[in-house]
Amino acid sequence: MPPRLFQCAHRVQYADCTLGNHVYHARYLEWLDEARGAFFRCIGAPLAELQETGTLFVLVNYQLRYRAPARYDDLLTIQVRPAALTRVRLVLDYRLHSAAGAILLEATATYACTRLDGKPSRVPPTLALALGPWLAPEGAGPAGGQPE
């Protein structure tokens, strides 16, 4: 079965933009984090519930490629796909598309699974099972696309 792709929508707000009417670069990171939270809720593992059971996913690396600016009132689609899962790490690929389908941003984020005290921890087995159908094939680029 091919991996699944999670998508959510985001409308650019005026407060997200600079005087040049393009989105301030740090806003993209906030949107990716919102999409990550929505994805975890979708698979039945809300981040708040994981935290309540003593599990955190701490960001250890972010790689971003900005391709084109988003502007005020644009309706965007954010795609999320798990790219890799190990005993203690999760890699998520993201793509942000315009309403016309243009890729505006590609990103890869690596998260370490930790306990509340910051010590490394194994990814909970139930979460690993829930992530399985979403995992991208080896060698796929951001959000399951081909490397460029």
**Considering the domain boundaries, does residue 53 fall inside one?**
yes
Count: domains in the chain: 1
In which domain, by residue range, is 11 found?
A: 6-135
Alpha helices (H) along the chain: 25-42, 47-52, 125-131
Residue 54 belongs to some domain of the structure: yes
The CATH number of the domain holding residue 38 is 3.10.129.10
Asked whether residue 87 is assigned to any structural domain, the reply reads yes
The span from the CA of 24 to the CA of 41, in Å, is: 27
Distance CA 45, CA 127 (A): 7
Does residue 148 fall inside a structural domain?
no
Question: How confident is the model over 28-82, as pLDDT tens digits?
Answer: 999 999 999 999 999 999 999 999 999 999 999 999 999 999 999 999 999 999 9
Separation of alpha carbons 3 and 32, rounded Å = 20
Does the predicted model carry a pTM greater than 0.85?
yes
Q: What is the 3-state secondary structure (H, E, C) of 78-100?
A: EEEEEEEECCCEEEEEEEEECCC
d(CA 73, CA 36): 22
> Within a domain: residue 143?
no
Predicted confidence band of residue 137 (pLDDT cuts 50, 70, 90):
low
AA letter at 31: W
Residue 142 placed within a domain: no
Mean pLDDT of 78-96: 97
